[in-house]
Structure 1
Amino acid sequence: MIEKVKEHFINVSLTVLMILLALNTGLIFYNRSVMIENNHLQKQTEEVRKNWTNVFESDLRRMDLGLRGFALTKNPQILGPYYDGARDLPITLRRIDSLLEVQKMDTLREKFAAFSPKVKDYLSYGAEMLAYAQKDSIADFVRLLNQDKGYDLWKAYSPMYSSILHYQDTLLEEARTRYQDALNRNVIFQIILLLISVPSLIGVIYRIRRDTKARKRLLL
């Protein structure tokens, strides 16, 4: 009776072990998909931050430096940053809009769509300042400069910028949590697998040895 119970226990343990091995394989593939998704999300959030930051810290700043430098020196070469910024800014805006669509941020995308015409107005404002600087109409250049439309543009941009950065931080934190949960599940699963597999294998080894001894006794 006891031997039958032992054999039944071993058979059940081996069955459970095979099921756990199959589940473990599935868990490995799941963890891999989580890692791939996290890497993709990290690259995406970095791209979002880069483009939103570039609007003011790169594109508009280059335009501003080029204009002011040219107005002071009348050196056409100094206009290089201005033209580069004016060229890159629309590209940056299109990238931002595309990323907002990918991340399904419809509300912010609507606000950004309302912001884009203000950027175009600022480009026209910069072109007008450049025209005055090229004609050496410094009084008109200073008059436009004192309007400080860049600050007005920043006031419209800043709330969206803060919102997008907060959202990216949230996405990254959620991704890290999912990844950590996957790692924790994997550790727990491996412990369970070990606790079941070791007794099962010991039982199998015991039964094999017992059967071997029994066959030897029959042969004697």
Structure 2
Amino acid sequence: MNFSGLKLRGKFLTGVVFLVVLLIIIDVVITRDNNRTIQTNRFLQKQAEQVKVNVSQFAIVIIHNLDLGLRGYALFGKEKYLYPYNVALKDKDSVIAVVEKILAEQNYPLQEFHQLSDSLNAYASFCTHLKALYDNNKKDEFLRLGDQDRGYDLWLQYEVFARKVYAFEDQINETATAKYNAAINKNYVVQIVLFLICVPALLIMARHTLRKFAIAEDLKTLALEKAQLLADQNATLEEMVRVRTEEIYLQNQELQHRNNEVATQNEELTAQQEEITSQRDQLATQNEMLSEAKRIIESKNKEIEHKNDILEQQVEERTKHLLEYNQQLEQFTFISAHNLRAPVARILGLGGILRYANSEEEKMIIDKLISTTTELDTVVKDLNDILVLRKDNISILSEIDFGEELELIKMDLEKEMIETGAILDYDFSRAPGIRTIKSYLDSILINLISNAIKYRHPGRSPLIQVRSDLVDSYVCLTVSDNGLGMDLSLYKEKLFTLYGRFHNHVEGKGMGLYLVMTQVVALGGKIEVESEVDRGTTFKILLKD
């Protein structure tokens, strides 16, 4: 045998193994460096996006809120409209500081930033001065300075700065993306090289191992042949020496051979018996497994059937909801056309009469014309509110404190409450607030409370009670009154329909409860009602927090 060739192959395989280990170490080092590069560039990408968001807040949080708050305050003269203005003054410095910190970390030239921040501070001081002029009733000076529109100049300065910052951040983002992709490509190259070297090396090692096994088998065969040769020689010598005892020896050999055959047969029978026992145990185990699998399949089939039943029920409910919605839409279209045609017809009729009337009659007709036009405008506004709810119910969610909201509603309804002697009692101790759409919640409460005042009992002052509670996964708002009440057996199905009215002794359009239902559904909630004639009505609004 060629042992020198085997040594050379052994050295070659050792070298290949060493090379594979070295490549694995290199791959680990490069992968670690690539991961660091990837993490660094991910951070740069996130930082670039954060700078864009924070720079956009200059316009939204500072400039826009200052203008919105000051103009709303000047227009209506109420403190609550100063909320955006106060937010802008409060958040101005923190927004500027965040942007300055990140731009400084990115080595961005800060000269224009400082100019813009100085302009922002100057504009905030200017708005503060305007507010002081308005508070001191110097409205002429307020209007003169406000007409300069410094906010527009500041906006132009902000747009120039924002475009430069966005371009700078886009460049950072592109550079980070390129490095990120380069690191990933480098990783791919190392993995491919490692694969191309390791696979042939493993194939060579497998071939060498097979050869070693073959050589070992050859050596084993040679050893057996050598032993057989020695045995044959010994047998010949013994045959020559023991000629006379050959027959006895052969008989002993034959007896021994038979004994071996019997022993071998016994061992084979024992092995077969053990194999039969093992197979029987396996069959029993398999039967148990099949029974368990059958039980699981039956359970899964029942579960699937149950889910199919639930899906069918959901489809039926959704179909019913769509049919109801289509009916409401048809009713809405018919009533809208009717209500819009009537005011328009009256306006046309009054316009025709106006040509023949004297001056006193003209004044009366003009008053009628204005009243009718106002009625038409109210109908159009109501229709617009409903269409807005139908078209888009996506608004910003905010944390709402029930007590604070109800105090604001009391201020809005103060005149009606004083005129009717209404008492508004509330308790929000069990559920102080909720996270939902503020405008929808305000509209729901205003409609229910104003209805309680409007449909009060003539023999007693209105008592309106508002409570909050937690019911399962819902926040439940309960609005109760001691008013006229209604017969739900007659009106329950039409209670929340468009233009549905059940008391004709007071003015109304029949849209309040329809708006309440629409807004509750838009918030993913539900509404329940209890009422008794001459005793009062209770509405329960269940909203998801």
- Normalised to the residue count of structure 1, the TM-score between the two structures is 0.89
Percent of pairs with identical residues: 27
Structure 1 residues 192-211: aligned runs within 5 Å:
192-211=193-212
| 1:74 CA drift (Å) | 0.3
Give 2:168's aligned residue. Answer: 167
Partner Cα distance (2:180, 2:70) in 1: 48
Structure 1 residues 69-84: aligned runs within 5 Å:
69-84=72-87
1:115 aligns with 2:116: yes
Give 1:145's aligned residue. Answer: 146
List gaps (5 residues or longer) in structure 2. 224-545
Partner Cα distance (1:208, 1:30) in 2: 37
Partner Cα distance (1:73, 1:179) in 2: 54
Give 2:43's aligned residue. Answer: 40
Indicate conservation of the 8 Å contact 2:120/2:154, yes or no: yes
Indicate conservation of the 8 Å contact 2:51/2:102, yes or no: yes
1:18 aligns with 2:21: yes
User: RMSD of the TM alignment (CA)?
Assistant: 2.0
Indicate conservation of the 8 Å contact 1:60/1:89, yes or no: no
Partner Cα distance (1:9, 1:168) in 2: 54
| 1:168 CA drift (Å) | 0.8
The structure whose residues are more often helix, as a share, is 1
2:170 partner SS? helix
| 1:57 CA drift (Å) | 2.1
State which of 61, 64, 75 in structure 1 corresponds to 2:64: 61
Deviation track 1:18-69 (CA, whole Å, cap 9, x = no partner) reads: 2211111112212321232133122211221121111112222111101000
State which of 89, 94, 97 in structure 1 corresponds to 2:92: 89
Counterpart amino acid of 1:186? N
Partner Cα distance (2:194, 2:117) in 1: 57
Relative contact order, CA 8 A, sep 6+: which one is greater?
1
Indicate conservation of the 8 Å contact 2:37/2:179, yes or no: yes
Indicate conservation of the 8 Å contact 2:67/2:151, yes or no: no
Give 2:180's aligned residue. Answer: 179
Counterpart amino acid of 1:25? V
Deviation track 1:101-124 (CA, whole Å, cap 9, x = no partner) reads: 11111x2x1222233222221111
Give 2:33's aligned residue. Answer: 30
Indicate conservation of the 8 Å contact 1:41/1:172, yes or no: yes
Partner Cα distance (2:211, 2:166) in 1: 67
Partner Cα distance (2:168, 2:148) in 1: 33
Counterpart amino acid of 1:216? E
Indicate conservation of the 8 Å contact 2:66/2:85, yes or no: yes
Partner Cα distance (1:2, 1:160) in 2: 76
Bigger mean CA deviation after superposition, 8-17 or 186-195: 8-17
List gaps (5 residues or longer) in structure 1. none
Bigger mean CA deviation after superposition, 160-169 or 134-143: 134-143
Indicate conservation of the 8 Å contact 1:67/1:82, yes or no: yes
Deviation track 1:58-117 (CA, whole Å, cap 9, x = no partner) reads: 222111101000101001111111011111111111111111111111x2x122223322
2:137 partner SS? coil
Indicate conservation of the 8 Å contact 2:66/2:84, yes or no: yes
- Normalised to the residue count of structure 2, the TM-score between the two structures is 0.38
Deviation track 1:128-167 (CA, whole Å, cap 9, x = no partner) reads: 1111222333322221111111122233333221111111
Bigger mean CA deviation after superposition, 172-181 or 3-12: 3-12
Indicate conservation of the 8 Å contact 1:71/1:138, yes or no: no
Partner Cα distance (2:101, 2:186) in 1: 35
Partner Cα distance (2:130, 2:137) in 1: 10
Bigger mean CA deviation after superposition, 68-77 or 144-153: 144-153
Indicate conservation of the 8 Å contact 2:42/2:176, yes or no: no
Counterpart amino acid of 2:25? A
Partner Cα distance (2:73, 2:193) in 1: 72
Indicate conservation of the 8 Å contact 2:66/2:124, yes or no: no
Bigger mean CA deviation after superposition, 88-97 or 35-44: 35-44
Partner Cα distance (2:11, 2:204) in 1: 11
Indicate conservation of the 8 Å contact 1:74/1:134, yes or no: no
Q: Which has the larger radius of gyration?
A: 2
Counterpart amino acid of 2:161? M
The structure whose residues are more often strand, as a share, is 2
| 1:216 CA drift (Å) | 3.2
The number of residues matched between the two structures is 218
1:128 aligns with 2:129: yes
1:147 partner SS? coil
2:147 partner SS? helix
Partner Cα distance (2:75, 2:131) in 1: 12
Indicate conservation of the 8 Å contact 2:68/2:84, yes or no: yes
Partner Cα distance (1:135, 1:73) in 2: 16
1:104 aligns with 2:138: no
Partner Cα distance (1:183, 1:36) in 2: 12
